[in-house]
């Protein structure tokens, strides 16, 4: 390591110590910013200390959970793993996660889609896991074709990286097709059966990535994900290397069987959290773990002990009432949360919080693409709006036939639900900047439940 890299590493580690040990604040990004300011090439230098290999997890929804489950699976083998578990997924966050220790066996890093162009050429991972692509933060990311271009160029700058792609997502397959033309090795995962679930009202992608013709689906799992093909014969779901079948999704969690040429026999996986989207997340994590040498039994033991700690499907009990906290930051994420609510047959309440801070995106017009009308179909559902854009959300809900009160925070939302039976759960659905304050509030008021 050069003198400049050594100084930058020392400065980053000192910043991490000051933040975490002295100020007791998050050290997920600033150490990396300090280090990169001193040596912009530091990520590449730090990557050389990773002896076994590295995996980058990318996609619009599900990155953090997939990334953390995969890291835990590798750690269960006794490996030392560097991971940005808090979800700091831009170059500074990845650099911060690489700073500890003089060596490691694996690096498992979540990456923001647009940041792949900085992360992949420096980290040069063995695998890039691409989960899905949806419209998100349009004022920052732009339309999806721009995101696709960035990922393709990032893979071109990391020629040794294998793309492990969701074969059910036409937008991801569009990336895979272009990357393969540039020499990238591609493997695919997906669900191999019709789940017979209601499909979302507004799919993200309807047209062929080659000719522009409208795609035909044998079935859709959610949003645009499913078994698709172009009637003109020039674009279709690829052959799957990891296939989920016998899929069961309910309020108690998910289970599914995985078959693959990389497995001697199919294996059944179970988790006590999630929805259909979680089947994809866990299938992706399992596929990457298998390629990294983790056996199926060890992976299942990780799922048995995994408890979300980052606000993703995290459960609390406040005053005897169950509170479920989850991130919902774009139409597809919200629609999947609405599906989760629909699977819960109890009377319930939902506190929906929308902010418009920089990391949320100032443009919240996407709330009109959320199928809030489905919330109005359930009996006994109380909806409460919150956040900086609570009034905009209240108007959107009014057009969906839902009268929503406004609450300033979770505590006030719980007071509004005070006349409901304590057996009625409260779902708290927030976008990015509202997630951590809500989590801190729930940790102060309640008890975390696995």
- Tell which residue, 321, 354, 357, 318, has the closest CA to residue 337: 354
State the DSSP H helix or E strand holding residue 33, giving kind and residue range, or none if neither. helix 30-38
Residue that is written with structure tokens 């669900």 in the block:
191
- Tell which residue, 191, 153, 159, 160, has the closest CA to residue 175: 153
CA-only gyration radius of the chain, Å = 22
Distance between terminal CA atoms of the chain? 43
**154 alpha-carbon distance from chain centroid:** 20
* CA atoms in the 13 A half-sphere facing the CB of 265: 3
**140 alpha-carbon distance from chain centroid:** 18
Q: Are 27 and 19 in contact (CB under 8 A)?
A: yes
Q: Are 97 and 50 in contact (CB under 8 A)?
A: no
Residue 356 CA to residue 143 CA, distance in Å, equals 19
429 — phi, psi (to 5°)? -115, 115
151 — phi, psi (to 5°)? -65, -40
State the DSSP H helix or E strand holding residue 102, giving kind and residue range, or none if neither. none
The yes-or-no answer on residue 126 being catalytic is no
The burial of 102, by beta-carbon neighbours within 10 Å (0-12 exposed, 13-18 middle, 19 or more buried), is given as: exposed
Phi-psi region of 12 (alpha: psi -120 to 50; beta: other; left: phi over 0): alpha
Which position among 363, 371, 379, 419 bears the catalytic label? 363
DSSP state of 208: -
Using DSSP, how many helices (H) and how many strands (E) does the chain show?
Answer: 15, 18
Percentages helix, strand, coil for the chain (3-state, rounded to 5) are 40, 25, 35
Give the torsion sign (CA, 311, 125, 128, 33).
positive
Residue 267 CA to residue 261 CA, distance in Å, equals 12
Catalytic residues: 363
């Amino acid at each position: 390591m050069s003198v400049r890299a050594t100084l930058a590493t020392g400065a980053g580690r000192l910043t991490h110590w000051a933040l975490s040990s002295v100020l007791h604040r998050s050290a997920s990004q600033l150490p990396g910013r300090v280090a990169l300011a001193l040596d912009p090439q530091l990520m590449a230098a730090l990557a050389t200390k990773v002896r076994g290999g590295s995996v980058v997890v990318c996609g619009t929804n599900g990155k953090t959970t997939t990334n953390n489950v995969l890291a835990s699976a590798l750690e269960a083998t006794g490996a030392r793993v560097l991971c940005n578990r808090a979800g700091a997924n831009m170059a500074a966050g990845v650099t911060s996660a690489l700073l500890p220790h003089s060596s490691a066996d694996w690096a498992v890093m979540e990456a923001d889609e647009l940041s792949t162009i900085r992360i992949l050429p420096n980290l040069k991972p063995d695998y890039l896991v691409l989960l899905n692509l949806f419209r998100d933060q349009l004022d920052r990311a732009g339309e999806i074709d721009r995101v696709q271009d960035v990922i393709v160029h990032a893979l071109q700058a990391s020629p040794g990286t294998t793309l492990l792609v969701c074969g059910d997502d036409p937008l991801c397959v569009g990336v895979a097709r272009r990357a393969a033309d540039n020499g990238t090795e591609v493997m695919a995962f997906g669900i191999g059966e019709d789940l017979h679930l209601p499909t979302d009202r507004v799919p993200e992608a309807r047209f062929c990535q080659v000719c522009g013709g409208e795609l035909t689906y044998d079935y859709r799992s959610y949003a645009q994900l499913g078994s698709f093909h172009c009637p003109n014969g020039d674009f279709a779901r690829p052959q799957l290397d990891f296939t989920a079948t016998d899929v069961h999704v309910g309020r108690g969690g998910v289970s599914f069987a995985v078959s693959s040429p990389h497995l001697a026999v199919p294996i059944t996986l179970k988790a006590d959290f999630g929805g259909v989207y979680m089947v994809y997340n866990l299938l992706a994590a399992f596929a990457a773990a298998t390629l990294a040498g983790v056996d199926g039994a060890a992976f299942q033991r990780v799922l048995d002990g995994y408890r979300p700690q980052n606000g993703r499907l995290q459960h609390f009990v406040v005053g005897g009432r169950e509170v479920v906290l989850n991130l919902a930051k774009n139409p597809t994420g919200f629609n999947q949360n609405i599906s989760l609510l629909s699977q819960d047959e109890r009377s319930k309440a939902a506190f929906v919080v929308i902010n418009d801070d920089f990391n949320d995106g100032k443009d919240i017009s996407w709330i009109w693409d959320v199928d809030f009308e489905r919330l109005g179909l359930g009996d006994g559902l109380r909806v409460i709006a919150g956040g900086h854009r609570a009034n905009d959300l209240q108007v959107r809900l009014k057009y969906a036939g839902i009268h929503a009160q406004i609450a300033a925070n979770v505590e006030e939302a719980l007071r509004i639900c005070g006349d409901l039976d304590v057996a009625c759960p409260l779902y708290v659905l927030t976008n990015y900047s509202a997630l951590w304050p809500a989590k801190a509030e729930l940790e102060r008021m309640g008890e975390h439940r696995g």
